[in-house]
């Protein structure tokens, strides 16, 4: 029997104007924006609708903005359900709200704190990230290992076949970029980021996130949520909590997660949230899957 998977985007999918059409057309959306503004103590809604883009792009703002957008769309889909879920990095929190493991309110506080902790770690340990296209994951791991003499560098996101993001110290990442070019990568591009996400340079953020997660209730998930850290399904609340802490410094196993969901019967993947990033990655990983996205008001009838 064919199954449906809900997938939720992470950082990089935000845009100025996100959610404005939902706010204007729906009381549900309006109430969520108002609730978020109250929880955070500032107008996230104004930042989403009008920018400035520089502020929206700051990690501690980006994360709650994307999370909020995804959760509003989930509620506007009413009874549309899925057999499993996954989210890319930050998106894992949206997936856990969908799966009933986290409340919206706790999720909002956690993603804001996570963003602040990651921003702080990026300031304390200056690092960078780079996209490498056209080399397989194993080759990128070898490149990072070889570049390790120049500084810290690790694969951060295994996004799709031939599409890997690396992360670490500026010297380590730039050395790995140089080696990737020598290995004939099709594209090697440094990314504009405020920290070396999903690398050991995020370690200082772990303690604060663990303390916060311990103070919130993480319930068992109603449906399997495929973990970024393992690429495998998890439902137990205690395991979820541990994996969310490890996620900060671990590679995002997105390609493995998509393949595992397809193996578990997912024939249709629905990206819920801003942008189309995950749709492209899923098409590259599972060419036969049906892939669609829900971002704006006009997309809602698709489901």
CB 268 within 8 A of CB 9: no
The count of C-alpha atoms lying within 13 angstroms of the C-alpha of 160, restricted to the half-sphere facing its C-beta, is 15
What sign does the CA torsion over 242, 158, 118, 167 have?
Answer: positive
Residue 298 is classified by DSSP as G
| Cis preceding linkage at 10, omega within 30 | no
Q: Confirm whether 198 is a catalytic residue.
A: yes
Q: Confirm whether 70 is a catalytic residue.
A: no
Catalytic residue among 45, 167, 169, 198: 198
Catalytic residue among 13, 70, 89, 251: 89
Nearest to 5 by CA among 273, 270, 232, 223: 270
As a whole number of angstroms, the distance between CA 103 and CA 94 comes to 10
Torsion of CA 34, 58, 121, 89, to 10 degrees: 70
Strands 163-169 and 187-191 come out as unpaired
Nearest to 228 by CA among 132, 110, 91: 91
What are the strands, taking DSSP E only, across 50-209? 84-87, 127-133, 153-160, 163-169, 187-191
CA angle 110, 270, 298 (to 5 degrees): 95
Torsion of CA 57, 63, 69, 71, to 10 degrees: 180
Which residues are tagged catalytic? 89, 198
């Amino acid at each position: 029997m064919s199954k449906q998977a809900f997938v939720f985007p992470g950082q990089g999918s935000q845009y100025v104007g996100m959610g404005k059409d939902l706010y204007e057309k729906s009381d549900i959306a309006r109430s969520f924006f108002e609730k978020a503004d109250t929880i955070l103590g500032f107008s996230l809604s104004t930042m989403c609708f009008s920018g400035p883009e520089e502020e929206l792009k700051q990690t501690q703002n980006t994360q709650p903005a994307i999370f909020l957008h995804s959760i509003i769309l989930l509620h506007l889909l009413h009874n549309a359900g899925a057999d499993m879920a996954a989210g890319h990095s930050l998106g894992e929190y949206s997936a856990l709200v969908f799966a009933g493991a986290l409340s919206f309110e706790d999720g909002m506080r956690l993603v804001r704190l996570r963003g602040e902790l990651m921003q702080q770690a990026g300031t304390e340990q200056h690092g960078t990230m780079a996209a490498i296209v056209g080399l397989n994951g194993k080759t990128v791991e070898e490149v990072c290992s070889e570049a390790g003499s120049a500084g810290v560098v690790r694969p951060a996101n295994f996004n799709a076949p031939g599409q890997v993001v690396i992360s670490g110290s500026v010297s380590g990442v730039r050395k790995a970029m140089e080696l990737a070019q020598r290995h004939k990568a099709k594209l090697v591009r440094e990314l504009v980021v405020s920290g070396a996400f999903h690398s050991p340079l995020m370690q200082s953020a772990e303690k604060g996130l663990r303390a916060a997660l311990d103070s919130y209730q993480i319930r068992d998930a109603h449906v399997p949520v495929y973990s970024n850290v393992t690429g495998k399904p998890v439902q137990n609340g205690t395991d979820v909590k541990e994996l969310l802490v490890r996620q900060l410094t671990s590679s995002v196993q997105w390609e493995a997660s998509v393949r595992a969901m397809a193996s578990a019967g997912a024939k249709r993947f629905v990206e819920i949230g801003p942008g189309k990033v995950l749709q492209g990655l899923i098409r590259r990983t599972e060419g036969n899957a049906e892939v669609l996205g829900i971002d704006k008001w006009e997309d809602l009838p698709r489901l």
